[in-house]
């Protein structure tokens, strides 16, 4: 068995089983030395690139990757490292910010659905429809009468995407409150990072415990075999990337995309001079 399989199993959120994020480490040692981890990462990156191009050639199914984290949790750098080598023509990343007034005038899935990956593509959500239950319930941005039904709507939406040919994998980058402080401080200390510092992030930080509770509850309610959540210990960054890469490569291997049979016999065709 591959050495990354036990942590991938251990950190997968089980449907309906109560989850306490404090029980899951934010810094994890998989027993793999860093230099080995880096070599493994290159191998997995190469395989991801191959599988993505097969998925594109097949043109029938798609992969949706959902990425959630607290501020400074490392979403951007994870996406850069995991998807950097992938052909940009077949991979589309959508970052979901606070909704505009036009988006707020629609149902919460309206802006999300249009970015679901088309057949043959990998689609990545950097933040997602999960904000519509997490931040929304914590800050009471819409009445409870509305948001309390959203877990069910999300499950129905993801089931529908699955039935229509999209495979879904969801990752929560798990960091501690102390680690967030260090990463935010870095944004203050380095002039080239000032643009990343957002004073409003401190409001979310103040509600850390609420976020951990709501994230745990949300993942428990929305993790299924067809759309599982993986809580990724995210403070050791190369291991974080490795776990996500392995999970995605395994997923695509299981999808086993095939290049289509040609509709012609190449032996019967002569290219004219
Ligand atoms: P970084 O980690 O670099 O700060 P980011 O993803 O936090 O990146 P920002 O522009 O800083 O990007 O923040 C986006 C903000 O939008 C987040 O605070 C997030 O909670 C908020 N947001 C996203 N979707 C929704 C939503 N549906 N309703 C309310 N707020 C949302
Ligand atoms: Mg932010």
**pTM score of the predicted model:** 0.97
pLDDT confidence of residue 49: 98
By most ligand atoms within 8 Å of CB, the mutation choice from 69, 71, 147, 200 for ligand 1 is 71
Strand, helix or coil for residue 171: strand
The closest residue, in CA terms, to atom 21 on ligand 1 is 98
pLDDT confidence of residue 260: 93
Q: What is the mean pLDDT of residues 28-47?
A: 94
Q: Is the pLDDT of residue 123 over 90?
A: yes
Q: Which residues of 31-165 form beta strands (DSSP E)?
A: 62-69, 91-95, 122-126
pLDDT confidence of residue 181: 98
Q: Could you report the per-residue pLDDT of 84-119, keeping only the tens digit for each?
A: 999 999 999 999 999 999 999 999 999 999 999 999
Distance from C-alpha of 252 to C-alpha of 235, rounded to nearest angstrom: 26
As a whole number of Å, the end-to-end CA separation of the chain is 54
Task: For residue 35, report the distance from its CA to the centre of ligand 1, in Å.
Answer: 34
Task: For residue 163, report the distance from its CA to the centre of ligand 2, in Å.
Answer: 33
pLDDT confidence of residue 29: 86
Distance from C-alpha of 151 to C-alpha of 30, rounded to nearest angstrom: 33
Distance from C-alpha of 191 to C-alpha of 71, rounded to nearest angstrom: 19
Q: Could you report the per-residue pLDDT of 179-189, keeping only the tens digit for each?
A: 999 999 999 99
pLDDT confidence of residue 192: 96
Distance from C-alpha of 122 to C-alpha of 117, rounded to nearest angstrom: 6
Q: Is the pLDDT of residue 16 over 80?
A: yes
Distance from C-alpha of 99 to C-alpha of 136, rounded to nearest angstrom: 11
By most ligand atoms within 8 Å of CB, the mutation choice from 98, 197, 201 for ligand 1 is 98
pLDDT confidence of residue 30: 87
Average pLDDT over all residues of the chain = 97
**C-beta of residue 135 within 8 angstroms of C-beta of residue 218:** no
């Amino acid at each position: 068995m591959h050495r990354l399989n036990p942590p991938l199993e251990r950190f997968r959120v089980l449907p309906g089983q109560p989850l306490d994020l404090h029980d899951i480490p934010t810094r994890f040692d998989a027993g793999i030395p860093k230099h080995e981890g880096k070599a493994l990462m290159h191998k997995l990156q190469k395989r991801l690139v191959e599988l993505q191009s097969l998925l594109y050639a097949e043109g029938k199914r798609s992969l949706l990757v959902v990425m959630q984290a607290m501020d400074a949790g490392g979403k951007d750098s994870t996406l850069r490292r995991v998807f950097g080598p992938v052909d940009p023509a077949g991979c589309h990343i959508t970052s979901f910010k606070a909704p505009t007034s036009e988006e707020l005038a629609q149902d919460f899935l309206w802006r999300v659905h249009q970015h679901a990956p088309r057949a043959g593509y990998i689609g990545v959500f950097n933040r997602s429809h999960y904000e519509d239950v997490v931040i929304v319930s914590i800050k009471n941005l819409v009445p409870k009468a509305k948001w309390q039904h959203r877990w069910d709507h999300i499950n129905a939406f993801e089931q529908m995407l699955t039935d229509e040919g999209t495979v879904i994998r969801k990752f929560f980058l798990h960091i501690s409150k102390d680690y967030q402080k260090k990463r935010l401080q870095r944004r203050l200390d380095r002039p080239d990072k000032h643009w990343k510092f957002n004073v409003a992030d401190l409001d979310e930080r103040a509600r850390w415990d609420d976020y951990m509770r709501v994230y745990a509850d949300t993942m428990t309610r929305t993790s299924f075999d067809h759309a599982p959540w993986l809580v990724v210990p995210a403070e050791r960054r190369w291991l974080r990337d490795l776990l996500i890469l392995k999970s995605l490569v395994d997923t695509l291997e299981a999808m086993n995309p095939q290049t289509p049979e040609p509709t012609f016999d190449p032996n019967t065709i002569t290219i004219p001079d």
